[in-house]
Structure 1
Amino acid sequence: MAHTLDIIDKLFNDLNALQPIKSEDKNRLDKKFRLEFNYNSNHMEGNTLTYGETELLLMFDDTLGNHQLREYEEIKAHDLAYHIIEDLAKDTERPLTEQIIKNLNEIILVRPYWKDAITPDGHNTRRQIKVGSYKEYPNSVRLQNGEMFEYASPTETPAKMQELIEWYREEESVLHPITLASMLHYKFVCIHPFDDGNGRIARLLMNYVLLKNNFPPVVIKSADKNNYLRALHIADLGDYEALITYVAENAIWSLELSIKAAKGESLEETGDFVKEIELLKRKASSQKTPKSPLVIYETFNQIKNKLWRSVNGILQHFDDLFNEAKSIYKLNGWNENFETRTVSTFNIPFTKEVSDKPKALKIFGYDIYSEDIEKLEFVNIMYGLRGSIKPENLSLKLEVNFNLYDYLFKIKLNDKSIFESRKIYKEIFLDNEISEINVVTQKHILEFLKEKMN
């Protein structure tokens, strides 16, 4: 860790030697950090806006896309919070307080809302998430190994937060900024003082410390979430070096990027080209197209060949856990078309071939000119879970509801919706979208299996 901090200090000195940076280069750098931080910090917590959609929203206030209104609001609110910590960091006379942290939580959560929760005795419930105030209920989590990780209790939280502020003020002028930022992040997460938004607030506070010490912000990439969580879990065991080193390594990226900007060099990275292409694709597919038989047919083929093929393929990993499976396909709730198969071969053909000739416009053998298409369903039911106390089945369904200018699709596990989104017609499925849906589906299937096989 000491060696990594030495590298940090050298890069920090190199950057300072290049000051002042030209205004146009600073604007390029600020835009880069703003987009990267807002996208990654929110994406890590489940926000489904892509990098391109985040750029459209923040740079052009363009809300084209097919996401819940709250997701757009979260990005805008998080961006406001980011600007606030930038201003706070510049104000050397204003100390960090609990009220500032509460205000940040109120900003990023936008307004109170209801969220699914689990009671201490394991029952499902719904709870109102309040904004800007400390939690009223325990928010401990169950780890992958089944153990419960206990955050501070609601009654402990006010005192713990007061202790955190006192600790920060005592160590502010003692610890290296990277160490101080890392430990403030960790100590805050251990308290988990709010009902929601704790991860985002922790990363905002971490960057408040860095910005106050004239360091560039650190961006924890959502694609590197596993390593980030692993560093936090190691810290839970009392070994803080892994977390500090992890933050330091990400700070090196930020410092090197800042040095490039100060030298007037390009800030593009390997993945930026892909991001730009994604943005162009979004723009190209943003025009509204009304529903028609041909549009339905094209939408069906995209869903079948890209989305359902990918999601359905997840089930092959669980073949050996079930006795048999059945595939069902429905159009407007018409008669079920299915075939029973052994799970050893998971290549499921459609019961009725879809014509290759667009003129026929048939789906599952039905001529879709004969009736207005409103609903499409793909279902796989796996029977007889081995190792469960009683016979258990697993049903995975992709349900599509067609509207005038868009369609709503839902992934359901045993009739419980685990993912849903809305798309306009002719909008393509991007690979990262499919990956996100697969991750959510895999997670819920594993949770179901672990629960039933305990």
Structure 2
Amino acid sequence: METGYYPLLATIDKFQERIRQHRPLAREAVLELKEDYRIVLTYSSNALEGNTLTLSETKAVLEEGITINGRPNRDHLEAIGHSKAFDYMYSLIGSDRISETDILMLHKLFYMAIEPEKAGVYRNCPVQITGSEYPVPEHKEITKLMQKFVTEMYTVKSKLHPVEYAARIHRELVFIHPFIDGNGRVARLLMNLTLLRRGYPALIVPKILRQEYIRLLEQAHKDDRPFIGFVAEQLNEAQRDYIRQFHI
């Protein structure tokens, strides 16, 4: 994977053309796909951060408003918050830019029920990422870095393969670490936003690959190619699932 992901991008392009030829989907299929994404992305993204809800429990919380006995209240709030942030992310698919306002709103919707005073605002204190040897920027630098982030990401969009672009959106936001918590979840929503805008299926990072995902993100401080390769692999798997689901 670490040296062979560029050929995989060519495979992804072929799969995407196959998907494109079988569109548009029926309205009912589009709505069903959106709800599938909401549940699976909410479950997987939260699970990567230690949330204990299972996939079926996440579905019950979101669809039926059920409280799962024995699960922390915060886990329920994270599921509900992520679902709201997902809805907002999905509403942005028709645009072609990512703004600071949008990023702040994604965080606000996810984090409002957990710590309302810290939701949708940049952190105002130092933080340290457990297990990382690389310090995150000082909090006084965040506003400038985020302004630079949204400008540069728009500038390079046309120069990169969509998979590389999505991976770098994710990487850069995590490295800036603008929020007190929830950075990974916002980064994964932004990554999927950029892919959905280009017609790709949503990408899921399975909980079972958590350690590899963290390791490659850490390595991306020096070399982001393996992380881009990892993203490419997960997207190709998402394409395969899409093709099986719709019998393409």
Give yes or no for TM over 0.5. yes
- Structure 2: state its 5+ residue gaps: none
Show the counterpart of 1:43: 47
Provide, for residues 366-412 of structure 1, a one-character-per-residue CA deviation record: whole Å limited to 9, x for no partner. Answer: xxxxxxxxxxxxxxxxxxxxxxxxxxxxxxxxxxxxxxxxxxxxxxx
Instruction: State the SS of the aligned residue for 2:154.
Output: helix
Conserved? CA contact 1:15–1:262, under 8 Å: no
Cα deviation, residue 22, structure 1? 3.1
Picking from 118, 130, 134, the partner of 2:118 is 130
Conserved? CA contact 2:100–2:146, under 8 Å: yes
Distance in 1, Cα, partners of 2:174 & 2:7: 27
Closer, same or farther in 2 for the Cα pair 1:97/1:24, shift >3 Å? Answer: closer
Show the counterpart of 2:155: 170
Q: How does 1:307-318 map to 2 (within 5 A)?
A: none
Provide, for residues 170-202 of structure 1, a one-character-per-residue CA deviation record: whole Å limited to 9, x for no partner. Answer: 012221111000001001111001111101011
Distance in 1, Cα, partners of 2:9 & 2:218: 22
Provide, for residues 117-138 of structure 1, a one-character-per-residue CA deviation record: whole Å limited to 9, x for no partner. Answer: xxxxxxxxxxx97121111111
Picking from 29, 36, 43, the partner of 2:33 is 29
Show the counterpart of 1:250: 234
1:139 and 2:141 matched: no
Cα deviation, residue 263, structure 1? 2.1
Question: What amino acid does structure 2 have at the position aligned with 1:3?
Answer: P
Picking from 177, 180, 192, the partner of 2:165 is 180
Distance in 2, Cα, partners of 1:41 & 1:131: 18
Picking from 85, 90, 98, the partner of 2:100 is 98
Picking from 206, 209, 224, the partner of 1:221 is 206
Cα deviation, residue 64, structure 1? 3.6
- Which structure features the higher share of helix residues? 2
Conserved? CA contact 2:74–2:114, under 8 Å: no
Distance in 1, Cα, partners of 2:98 & 2:123: 20
Cα deviation, residue 111, structure 1? 3.8
Cα deviation, residue 214, structure 1? 1.2
Larger Rg: 1
Conserved? CA contact 2:77–2:114, under 8 Å: no
Cα deviation, residue 112, structure 1? 5.7
Aligned-residue RMSD, C-alpha: 1.9
Picking from 197, 203, 225, the partner of 2:182 is 197
Distance in 2, Cα, partners of 1:191 & 1:25: 37
Q: How does 1:5-16 map to 2 (within 5 A)?
A: 5-16=9-20
Distance in 1, Cα, partners of 2:67 & 2:73: 9
Provide, for residues 58-100 of structure 1, a one-character-per-residue CA deviation record: whole Å limited to 9, x for no partner. Answer: 22222243223332121011011111111101234xx311121
Distance in 2, Cα, partners of 1:142 & 1:149: 10
Distance in 2, Cα, partners of 1:112 & 1:48: 16
Deviates more, 1:165-174 or 1:253-262: 253-262
- Which structure features the higher share of strand residues? 1
Distance in 1, Cα, partners of 2:7 & 2:162: 15
Distance in 2, Cα, partners of 1:109 & 1:151: 21
Distance in 2, Cα, partners of 1:25 & 1:100: 27
Conserved? CA contact 1:49–1:71, under 8 Å: yes
Instruction: State the SS of the aligned residue for 1:185.
Output: helix
1:78 and 2:82 matched: yes
Q: Which structure's relative contact order is higher, taking Cα pairs within 8 Å and 6+ residues apart? A: 2
Closer, same or farther in 2 for the Cα pair 1:112/1:224, shift >3 Å? Answer: closer
Picking from 107, 110, 114, the partner of 1:108 is 110
Distance in 1, Cα, partners of 2:231 & 2:69: 33
**Identity across matched positions, percent:** 29
Cα deviation, residue 247, structure 1? 0.5
Question: What amino acid does structure 2 have at the position aligned with 1:45?
Answer: E
Distance in 1, Cα, partners of 2:86 & 2:230: 21
Structure 1 runs (4+) greater than 4 angstroms displaced = none
Distance in 1, Cα, partners of 2:239 & 2:93: 18
Question: What amino acid does structure 2 have at the position aligned with 1:258?
Answer: Y
1:263 and 2:247 matched: yes
Distance in 1, Cα, partners of 2:205 & 2:130: 23
Distance in 2, Cα, partners of 1:88 & 1:183: 19
Cα deviation, residue 51, structure 1? 1.3
TM-score (norm 2): 0.92
Conserved? CA contact 1:151–1:191, under 8 Å: yes
Distance in 1, Cα, partners of 2:72 & 2:245: 35
- Structure 1: state its 5+ residue gaps: 114-127, 265-454
